[in-house]
C-alpha cells in the first residue's frame, strides 16, 4: 500500500484563540473548530477519557493542514515549546511565503520574534526561524527568482 499524503501536523497550545489569530495572520484559513471528547478519542491517544478543543487550519493551496489542540482533560504534562533547534523530536513547521520582510513585520504585531537572522541560501531562498505564540518555533522560506 502506498502513502497517499501527509494529512496534518498537530501542535498543542494553551491559548487556542491566539494561535488561530496568529496562523490566520500568516495566511492559513480556519477550516473548522470542535471539541473532541470521550473514551473513543482516548483510545487513539492513549490518554483515556479526554476533552480537547481543536482548530483545523488549512494552507491557501488546500494541500496541508495544521491541527491546533488545547487539552482540557487530562492537563498538559510536558512543555517543549522553548527547546533549542537542536533538540530531539519534532522541531518546527516550515512555511513558504511570498515576502519574508512583510511577513515578519505583520507577525511581529502578533508577538513573533526572529530567532537568529534572515539569511539567503544561494539564489534559491531567503530563510529564517521565528518564535510565534507561546514560543512555538516556525520556519519561513521565501523562494527567489
**Into which CATH architecture does domain 93-143 fall?**
Roll (3.10)
Give yes or no for residue 109 having a pLDDT over 90. yes
pTM value? 0.89
Whole-angstrom distance, CA of residue 111 vs CA of residue 109: 6
Bridge partners for 129 per DSSP: 139
Residue 134 has phi, psi (to 5 degrees) of 60, 20
What is the dotted CATH code of the domain comprising 9-73? 3.10.180.10
Domains 9-73 and 93-143 share a fold: yes
Whole-angstrom distance, CA of residue 132 vs CA of residue 120: 21
Give the DSSP H/E element, type plus range, for residue 93: strand 93-97
Residue spans of the domains in the chain: they are 9-73, 93-143
pLDDT the model gives residue 45: 86
Average pLDDT over residues 85-114: 91
Amino acid at each position: 500500500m502506498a502513502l497517499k499524503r501527509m494529512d496534518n501536523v498537530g501542535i498543542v497550545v494553551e491559548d487556542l484563540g491566539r494561535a488561530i489569530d496568529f496562523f490566520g495572520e500568516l495566511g492559513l484559513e480556519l477550516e473548522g473548530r470542535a471539541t473532541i471528547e470521550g473514551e473513543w478519542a482516548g483510545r487513539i491517544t492513549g490518554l483515556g477519557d479526554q476533552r480537547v478543543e481543536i482548530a483545523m487550519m488549512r494552507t491557501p493551496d488546500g494541500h496541508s493542514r495544521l491541527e491546533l489542540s488545547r487539552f482540557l482533560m487530562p492537563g498538559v504534562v510536558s512543555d517543549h515549546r522553548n527547546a533549542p533547534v537542536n533538540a530531539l523530536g519534532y522541531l518546527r513547521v516550515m512555511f513558504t511565503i511570498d515576502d519574508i520582510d512583510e511577513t515578519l513585520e505583520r507577525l511581529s504585531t502578533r508577538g513573533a520574534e526572529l530567532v537568529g537572522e534572515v539569511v539567503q541560501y544561494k539564489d534559491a531562498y531567503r530563510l529564517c526561524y521565528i518564535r510565534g505564540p507561546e514560543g512555538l518555533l516556525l520556519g519561513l522560506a521565501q523562494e527567489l527568482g
